[in-house]
Amino acid sequence: MKKYFKRSLNYYSKLIVGFLIGSFLLASCSNPIDELANHEPVWLGASIYDYLKTDGHFNNYVRLIEDLKYTEVLSKTGSKTLFVANDSAFNEFYKSNEWGVSSYDQLTLSQKKLILNYGMINDAYLVEMLSNYNAGVLKEGAGMRKVTAVSVLDSLPFVTGSNLPKSSYWDYYRGKGMYLLQDNTLWTTMYFTQKHLDQAQITNNDFSFITGTTRVNKDAHIFGIKVIKRDITCKNGYLNVLDKVLIPPVNMAQYISHNPKMTVFSKILDRFCAPFFDEANTLLNKQTNVLFNDSIFVKKYFAKIGGSLKYPNALNVNADLLLPFDPGWNSYTRNSVGAALESDMAAMFVPNDEAMNTFLNSGSGKVLKDRFGSWDDIPTEVLPLFIKRHMRNSLVESVPSRFYKMVDEDNSSLPVKQEDIVKVFLGSNGVVFETNKAYPPDDYSSVYGPVLLSANDASQTLKTKIWKWAITQKDFRLYLNSMVSRYSFFVPTDEYFTNYIDPIAYSKDVPAALKYWYNTKSASVNATVYKYDKATGTVGDSLSLITNVTFISNRLEDLLNMHIVVDGVETGKNFYLTKGNVALKVSGSGENLEIQGGGNIALNQTVKVTKAYTQSNGTTYFIDKPIQSPLQSVFKVLSQTPEFKSFFDLMSGFPLDPLNKLPIIFVNKSNYYGIDYNIKFFNTFNYTVYVPTNAAIQKAFVDGIIKPWDSQGPIVGINDLPVSEQAAEIVKLERFLRYHFQDNSVFIDGKAVQNEYQSATMKLDDATSNFGTFKNKYYKIGVNGNGTNLTLTTETNKSARVMTETGLYNIMTRDFVFNNKPSSFKNIDGTGAGTDFSYSSIYTSSTAVIHQIDEVLNFK
């Protein structure tokens, strides 16, 4: 009210000043401005107390004011907004209410304080101005809440031990009880005004669904209670009359914990709360109540916002165990840019007991029942994902007209329908929708599910803590939870996570195998280093321990990528590419499936499935050892296979690149380091390399298709040509060789293939070709096969055949790219010169399958 009085004073002052200027002098010696300041304008009316006292219909409220010694405050100039009920409303209240009182005299002091203070805002607002608030700038129509005059000590309950939450954090107090605040932040009221409903696009149907009452345009409600008379102007604020007595509703957490139909969900929620000593309110209460000689505690939930990030013993709560927000936080404020307390409330969709038990005993919840038995036996670590799925950080975005738009924090649809809602409770900090369905997270039904559940199942011998840690570190969870894809997901269980051969160490003087293991003390994965003999493939004594999280997560990320196959592996083929482009050879099905990576084949190992889980988006296979990728590059295979000698000699005969002193067909990029040498035009993809026989290469010399580097009898070599002619022949030879490299790995794998693939040679003219390739596009290779053979067709319509009879086909390779040369790191046992081995990392890689063919491939 002060601002309105000042405006009037200013207005009258200007009139008087103008009069003074026009008349030069005042006839009176009195100061009219002082006189105006000492007389209140007639339109201000009485004080709030005087209005209620003289009206005669608010005797209950007058008694509240007088009993609580608020008469003087509400009789003087001030700035208050009050929401009151008349005596008729009180008479209805005494007939039936949640407090069980039937007359004014039965109200306790605490109850009186709550009625008066909860209906009071310590500022003056017209009803339509309630939705305005200041958050650095004026937000008009954006608000639905205000802080009330309630003190957290207006109600200080003593909770007996039997009524405390059942989790272990409360056990110490179970035998003696405690003074417990359900929250120690400011209490807020909420309202529905036309301006805010219009701006938030909340419909009248939304309002009716939430409050259980109807409204017409221009109505205003405090919660679901209608304002029947508004903006009564008093000299110290505004009065608004409600059609019912306003009792402070409990917050969402209180409602859930006291609802007999939500006991299952409530017990789960209780696992994530604890008592915390409230020193400030303990001291304050002792100052105002000298007889109080106890401690006050506050109930807090472990939550990202509004709650506690620490346990009562001050240790940090693991981030995975934090709820999105504290459901008991009275001053709930949405965690988003520009959000303010006034702007929104929270919402929770809480399945009733029948829905919770139906979910556990059927459908996607049955995996929990089969593994753990009951809700009480499900490990706490598994449950945050379930709870978070049912918590919404915005009521505005969770009203019925927006149900169809709702997604969870992972952007997965939350399929709530209006017919799922059994009952609605509008609390002090949000809305609780009681539902007849549960809405489980994708984690339970996706291929990630068995990893999540087995990692936290104390009864399981097949643990997956290593894989779960890796998935969390590199955020593979959302990828594996995708329901628009299907996966085969291979999971080495913890006890089998041994003897992984590190690709960087493999190229060092001291090759090593790593055993990954989960360190429960640090809640992270460590790696024990063992000697590895490349010649015999045997693992020796332990050398050292690696705890560097960056190193371990880097290696496990590489492993994860080669243990995921998009679209699955049980489709009738023998070879499949993983997410990381590593090829897998598979046979069998289900729990009889056997898998080999290129490294496993080299070691004569077979990876076997120990358990298979059919999930909503694919199959999860627990396996008895990690899949090992190839440790041989294209360079190594070509250089060490006699049958590939002529092709390799052509590749390695190019003039040395001045940057890295390698033939230009191999890598010439800086910061591009592998086990040995990489193909320079490989680019984090999968390829096929067709290698003609030595005889086919010789025939190509004789036929004049290409020239050798050095003269062979009558065939003049490139090195013996005049310098002016060499450059063109070198380019011609490089383009010829590159035509034997194809995008996409194609295997002889039991299934027919008929397709055209790009080569690594670009077409530089407009001449017509067999596949109609355009200029500046890559020449193509046609590939046809019945599952046991492959025939290639070139741009010249000539053909070549993969020579399965030699056994030189389906040879798997991998060109790694490391963060530095392997020689720049110390050996994994700490010996040698250079940077510590734990700073090495795998950047990326490309893979290729090599086939021997009976003829050269030519595009011209």
The token pair at 445 is 């039904």
- pTM for this one? 0.81
d(CA 227, CA 191): 10
Looking at residue 336, the DSSP 8-state letter turns out to be S
C-alpha span between 470 and 549 (Å, rounded): 10
CA distance 146 to 139: 14
Question: E strand or H helix at 113, and its extent?
Answer: helix 109-118
pLDDT of residue 829: 84
How many angstroms separate the Cα of 659 from the Cα of each of 172, 634, 677? 71, 21, 14
Token pair 């007999």 in the structure block, residue:
260
**Beta-bridge partners for 126:** none
User: Where is the domain boundary, 623, 653, 679?
Assistant: 623
- Domain at 488, CATH number: 2.30.180.10
- 429 and 379 belong to one structural domain: yes
Number of domains making up the chain = 4
Where does a domain end: 567, 589, 623? Answer: 623
Contact, 127 vs 227, CB < 8 A? yes
Rounded Cα distance, 147 and 154, in Å: 15
In a domain, 459, yes or no: yes
Q: What pLDDT shows up at residue 3?
A: 40
Q: Would residue 290 count as lying in a domain?
A: no
732-771: burial string, b at 16+ Cβ within 10 Å, e else: ebbbbbbbbbbbebbbbbeeeeeeebbbbbebeeeeebbb
| Token duo for residue 155 | 């109600």
CA distance 791 to 801: 5
- Distance (Å, rounded) from C-alpha 598 to C-alpha 555? 17
Phi-psi region of 272 (alpha: psi -120 to 50; beta: other; left: phi over 0): alpha
How do beta strands 594-596 and 430-435 pair?
A: unpaired
Residue type at 773 in one-letter notation: T
Q: In whole angstroms, how large is the CA radius of gyration of the chain?
A: 39
Which residue segment(s) compose the domain that 244 sits in? Answer: 79-150+186-230+239-248
Rounded Cα distance between 637 and 508, Å, is: 19
- Which residues of the chain carry a pLDDT beneath 70? 1-44, 337-338, 459-460, 656-672
pLDDT digits (tens, 9 = 90+) for 784-811: 999 999 999 999 999 999 999 999 999 9
Helix (H) or strand (E) holding 360: helix 353-361
CB 366 within 8 A of CB 614: no
Residue 601 pairs in a beta bridge with none
Pair 536, 434 in one domain: no
Rounded to the nearest 5°, which phi and psi values hold at 297? -115, 160
Does 453 lie in the same domain as 433?
no
Based on the domain organization, do 260 and 397 belong to the same domain? Answer: yes
* In-domain check, residue 289: no
Nearest to 65 by CA among 1, 157, 149: 149
Quick one: 465 and 427 in the same domain? no
Helices (H), 446-530: 449-455, 465-473, 477-481, 503-506
* Token digits of residue 209: 């669904």
DSSP state of 291: T
SS3 content of the chain, % helix, strand, coil (to 5): 35, 25, 40
Q: Which residue has the tokens 């011209």?
A: 860
pLDDT of residue 30: 38
- Asked, for residue 51, whether it belongs to a domain, the answer is no
Judgement on whether residues 754 and 779 belong to the same structural domain of the protein: yes
Strands 178-181 and 296-301: parallel
Residue 201 burial (CB count, 10 A): 11
Whole-angstrom distance, CA of residue 127 vs CA of residue 54: 23
Residue 505 lies in a domain: yes
The two tokens of residue 198 are 């219009």
**Residues for the chain: how many in total?**
860
The reply to whether 256 and 315 lie within a common domain is yes
Q: How far apart are CA 645 and CA 808, in angstroms?
A: 13
Q: Measured between alpha carbons, how far is 673 from 685 in angstroms, rounded to an integer?
A: 16
- Domain match, 725 and 773 both: yes
Asked if the structure places residue 334 within a domain, the reply is yes
Q: Which residue has tokens 């083929």? A: 573
Taking residue 724's Cβ as centre, other Cβ atoms within 10 Å add up to 7
Residue 689, token pair as written in the block: 């390399």
In a domain, 50, yes or no: no
Distance in angstroms (rounded) separating the CA atoms of residues 656 and 672: 17
CA distance 428 to 326: 13
CA distance 145 to 143: 6
Do 497 and 638 lie in a common domain?
Answer: no
Strand pairing category for 323-325 and 303-305: parallel
From the CB of residue 406, how many other CB atoms can be counted at a distance below 10 Å?
Answer: 17
Is residue 160, in this structure, part of any structural domain at all?
no
- Calpha distance 822→842 (Å, rounded): 11
Q: Give the H/E segment covering residue 629.
A: none
- Asked if residue 842 and residue 778 are part of one domain, the reply reads yes
Dihedral sign computed on CA atoms, order 116, 118, 121, 126: negative
Residue 542 CA to residue 536 CA, distance in Å, equals 17
Here the CATH number for the domain that contains residue 367 is 2.30.180
Write phi, then psi, for 664 (nearest 5 degrees).
Answer: -65, -15
Question: Do 514 and 431 belong together in one domain?
Answer: no
d(CA 21, CA 17): 6
Note whether 413 and 481 are same-domain residues.
Answer: no
Single residue among 623, 656, 673 that ends a domain in this structure: 623
